[in-house]
Amino acid sequence: MGERGIVARAAGLTTALAAGAVATRYYLAWRHNIWTWGASPEEVSRELPGDDLRPDADLTTTRAIGISAPPDCIWPWLAQIGSGRAGGYSYDWIENLFGLDVHSAEVILPQSQDIKPGDEFPFGRYGVMRVAAVQPDHALVLCFLGSNWVSTLALFPLPETTRLVSRSRITFANKPAPMQLLCTPIIELGGLLLERKMLLGIKERAERLASEQTHLATQPDDAR
């Protein structure tokens, strides 16, 4: 083997070792943070509505954010969420690359507020989004992909803020183990990207609504 061949093999081995080290670090150090962005240990361990619908989940994430608004300023944004409705308050252009037809609303849509368990709404080209549970001002449970993905959005008021906790329970139906190992990091990282943006988007909208309501309440009667 010539000198160039030895150098090429050494470079390939070094690259493989580096990739292996990154993958190992991801699974040992970063993965928990990706699963639990923004959530406290108590929120991660807390039982939420919808947990019983997918107890066999292959992947469970719990992410959260604090919102300076009461639950009744947050709930309307949750109630209207969905493809073809008020969108997902995330990166519309990314979601639309997958055919989800989302256009995140900046206002409350009265026609999309009346939801109840059993309601179904189109989920792009992936079937339907089914409403599994509704607890106004507290919790919304949605099922996607034939209930292989259960998403819970729950509100917990505190003295100064409201905590919005988002939990996803995902099952990789009919996928062999090697495929799961390949898909899981992609789903985890992509999920964090989109869900973090969603939580921040809901926070921005809810805090703006709360500010508008506070401003209106402090105006003299003849100025309203």
The number of beta carbons lying within 10 Å of the beta carbon of residue 154 is 22
Per the prediction, the chain carries an average pLDDT of: 86
pLDDT digits (tens, 9 = 90+) for 84-115: 899 999 999 999 998 888 999 999 999 999 99
pLDDT value of position 93:
95
Q: Please tell me the pTM assigned to this model.
A: 0.83
Cα angle, residue 71 at apex, residues 70 and 77 outer, rounded to 5°: 115
Does the pLDDT value for residue 10 go beyond 50? no
Does the pLDDT value for residue 169 go beyond 50? yes
pLDDT digits (tens, 9 = 90+) for 20-32: 566 556 555 678 8
Rounded Cα distance between 17 and 22, Å, is 9
Would you list the domain boundaries of the chain?
A: 1-35, 39-219
Mean pLDDT of 160-177: 86
Does the pLDDT value for residue 216 go beyond 50? yes
Closest to 187 (Cα-Cα) out of 155, 154, 129, 148:
148
Are 151 and 167 a contacting pair, CB within 8 Å?
Answer: yes
**39-219 fold:** Alpha-D-Glucose-1,6-Bisphosphate; Chain A, domain 4 (3.30.530)
pLDDT digits (tens, 9 = 90+) for 46-89: 999 999 999 989 899 999 999 999 999 999 999 999 998 999 99
Which residue pairs, CB below 8 angstroms and at least 24 apart, start in 27-32?
31/188
